[in-house]
Amino acid sequence: MSSHVAEARQRTLQFKAVVEGVGLHSGRPVRLTLLPAPVDSGILFTRTDLPHAVEIPARAEFVVDTTLNTTLGKDGVRIGTVEHLLSALYGFGVDNVRVELDGPEVPILDGSAFPFVQLLEKAGVREQKAPRKVAVVKKAVVVTDGDKEVRLTPASSFSVHCAIDFRHPLITDQKFNVEVSAKNFVREIARARTFGFAREVEYMRSRGLALGGSLDNAIVVDDFHILNPEGLRYPDEFVRHKILDAIGDLALVGVPVIGQLHARKTGHALNHKLVKKLLTEPGYIEYVVLGDVPVSRPAAQAEVALGVLEGTLVA
């Protein structure tokens, strides 16, 4: 084990980066800016379109809605659909960043985390002079809802096993496993897009949801076909996107997690219940500051070599 792994440091961005798009649910145009942030500040969202800035930390205690997305809120201010950006930040190994938005929702872009990965690559990542803290799972934590289940168990690295079954000809009994590293995240997970069913579009829009949805930012399926002309990016893109979402929701722990996540038919609501239980009930996790104690290489998976993405970004 090399010493720099055990002494893994926090990371932020080198430069600011900007992207514009529309909100999936609000349908409103929004400009998102990522900015470097000091050590121990975590991921901090703020709305720039309001008279008084309200800063909302990306932590589970600020989750106010989990209906078809994860929404953060504070003092009446809300920021929706944070999960894809948080997933990219987690997968890319960024600890501290300021996220500024001039609207109520993170732009959906192409419906995956890949545009955010490209944005982070453009901004660059730099180490900071502070050790990283991780949450090590000490005993299994489980939450269920009928036949849905998500659990987190002790392990020497962070990995996700997910299974879904929508009882649909195109989305039946899909499973995928991944050990989450920057390289694996970009290659196996980042490009998986959000998805929905054509028969549900009108109902969602009647509830003020999916107002910005289109074939440009979501996979849409009818009873037997994928309506997107280009088809799928992965043969099992649906379950991979569920993993993408789960990583983003788990990022709301506030620090990298060392454990194995098992998810069956899960969604944002159940993911949030797991994180809330993990954080509020004693005995499930132990916080470890890397560099303070010997840590095996898998347990220090939060380390992301700056060159690890070289050659892996594909259009």
- Which residues, 6 or more positions from 51, have their beta carbon under 8 angstroms from its beta carbon? none
State the first-to-last Cα distance of the chain, in angstroms, to the nearest integer: 35
Structure tokens at 58: 């990306």
Beta bridge partners, 63, equal 72
Using CA atoms, how far residue 87 sits from 127, 182, 185, 227, 256, in Å, is: 19, 11, 9, 26, 11
Structure tokens at 193: 């897009």
Name the helix (H) or strand (E) containing 144. strand 141-145
How far is it, in rounded angstroms, from Cα 116 to Cα 5? 26
Q: How many CA atoms lie within 13 A of 173 on its CB side?
A: 0
Structure tokens at 283: 């005995």
Active site residues: 268
Structure tokens at 261: 């996540």
